[in-house]
Amino acid sequence: MAGIGFELKKLFAKKGLFALIRAYGYSGIICTGPMLLGMALLFGVKLIAMSSGMAKDNQELLNCMITYTLLASLMTTNILSMVTTRYVADVLFVGDDGKVMPSFYGSIAIMLTGGGFLYAVFLHFSGVGIAYQLCCLIFYMELIVVWTQINYLTAVKDYRGIMLAFAAAICGALIVGWILVRVLHREAILSLMVSVIIGYGIMLVWYYKLLIEYFPECTSSSFAFLKWLDKYPQLVGVGTFIGIGLFAHLVLMWASPAGVQVKGLFYGAPIYDVSALMAFLSILITTINFVTSVEVKFYPKYRIYYGLYNKGGTLIDIQNAEKELISTLNRELGYTFAKQFFASVIFIVLGTLLIPRLPLGFTEEMLGIYRVLCVGYAFYSAGNCVMLMSLYFADNAGALVDTAIYAACSVIGTIITMHMDVRFYGFGFLVAGIVFTGISLTRVTLFTRKLSYHVISCQPFTNVEVTGVMTRLSEKLEERYLEREKRLKQAR
């Protein structure tokens, strides 16, 4: 969604160092807040656990429970995130804001029902106690809501509220964890899981308050967005494949020689997992920069270009706008790549010096994996930015191919390298990132060379109504919704 860009443009228009810091701070929290919260909580929880004298095997079980739940929730929300984002962008474009929150409720209901059932089955056979199972399931359900809220918050202008919610969530979780473990001396694993649930719960409630204050009351069925599954089926694949490409290497490494069975179905690869967690921080720079630089500067050119087609622009105006659009795209992507390159170099150099000083038990082998993964995440980040540009130009099929290849390379590359010497750990993920960036950049370049052709000649001459199972289901649910609203009005 480009809704966030309009407001950030105003923030970046203000002069002064503090105004610039404020703009980058707000955009950073909006784009990376939940991920930063997850990492901050993992690190804070580990410190509390260590200070309380928790046994190492219990620490590993706690980390596995949190990590499994995070990955499961992200994979679940990735399936629908691209579709709901497109749906919300479309209804906002036509000024039908009343359909936004119903889609939020509908998508949440589907994911909580389907994903919650599957994760509950896994937890039932996981080999941990019922209290731990319940905590993991509650945490999973919270995360489903929070990840979905982030998709919708890009259209909300209350940046201060978003930032305060993030700070309150971290502080609340760590304070509760410290009190339960260090002051009340409660059972450590359960107490720290409860503290994490409370932290994300604070964020969930606060974010929901922002959403209902901004968007109007419901004016449609909660499942009207299902039609978009038939209209843009490729987006389901894009979200799913990007999740597989990004997370599969972590899961597969649990079955490598570096993997250990923590308890029951909970496995981990400590030397790889911790290295990946620290390396992942290196791409937050690009995540923020993509919104603040590419979207804020690129989207106005994008809007002008397509607006000329809709408003009867002359051929010369369209050609000039196209040149400016592509020039801006290339320039901003170049800036993004350059910033990520320097960020990765800084993280590798400083990480090599500072990370061994942290109480994370880093070894030389882990530092080697960390360096490789820093480069791997850098290429993933670059490829993801370019792929998102494909979605801007409605090249959904191209984005699907790019992400499918990335997912396949990540899985195959990790399987090949996971049984090699530890020096090669992470190289499968790195090669997948290089391939992802290469094919995404090639596709966007070829697509934009014939942009006018794709805009004009590739469009259908008549309006084509796309129908399918989801469309028919959505229409039936919409009829039931209208009938219910009619009965309620008559009752009043």
Contact between 378 and 340 under an 8 Å Cβ cutoff? The reply is yes
Structure token pair of residue 414: 């990790």
Sign, Cα dihedral of 360, 365, 371, 374:
negative
Q: For position 181, what pLDDT does the model report? A: 85
CA geometry: angle 10, 329, 301, nearest 5 deg: 50
Angle of CA points 81, 378, 63, to nearest 5°: 65
pLDDT at 330 over 80: yes
Reported as a pLDDT band with limits 50, 70 and 90, residue 369 is very high
Query: How would residue 339 be classed by pLDDT, with cut points 50, 70 and 90?
Result: confident
What's the token pair of residue 486?
């009619």
Over residues 89-114, the mean pLDDT reads 88
Please give the average per-residue pLDDT across 6-23, as a whole number. 58
Dmax over Cα atoms in the chain, in whole Å? Answer: 74
Q: What is the mean pLDDT of residues 409-427?
A: 93
Angle subtended by helix axes 17-51 and 270-280, to nearest 10: 160
Q: What is the pTM of this model?
A: 0.87
- Whole-number Cα distances in Å, 426 to 256, 346, 366, 437: 12, 19, 11, 17
Among 158, 162, 157, CA closest to 7:
157
Q: Are 221 and 102 in contact (CB under 8 A)?
A: yes
Distance of CA 338 to the CA centre of its chain: 22
Strand partners, 261: 267
Looking at residue 210, its pLDDT comes to 84
For residue 426, give the DSSP letter: T
Q: pLDDT exceeding 90 applies to what percent of the chain?
A: 34
Contact 431, 373 (CB under 8 A): no
For residue 460, is pLDDT > 70?
no
Q: Are 11 and 288 in contact (CB under 8 A)?
A: no
6 band by pLDDT with thresholds 50, 70 and 90: very low
- Measured CA to CA, the distance from residue 172 to residue 155 in angstroms comes to 26
Average predicted confidence (pLDDT) for the chain: 84
Angle between helices 364-392 and 427-449 (to 10 degrees): 20
For 462-491, what is each residue's pLDDT tens digit? 666 767 788 888 878 777 777 777 777 777
Say yes or no to pLDDT of 167 above 80: no
Residues 192/177, Cβ–Cβ less than 8 Å: yes
Is 80 exceeded by the pLDDT of residue 444?
A: yes
Per-residue pLDDT tens over the stretch 276-308: 988 888 887 777 777 777 667 787 888 888 888
**Angle, in degrees to the nearest 10, between helices 188-214 and 159-178:** 160
User: Of 12-26, 126-140, 189-203, 254-268, where does mean pLDDT reach its minimum?
Assistant: 12-26
What's the pLDDT at 17?
Answer: 61
Per-residue pLDDT band for 30 (boundaries 50, 70, 90) equals low
Give pLDDT, residue 435.
Answer: 97
Write down the pLDDT at residue 5.
Answer: 45
Considering only CA atoms, which of 72, 117, 428 is closest in space to residue 265?
A: 72
What average pLDDT does this structure show over 88-115? Answer: 89
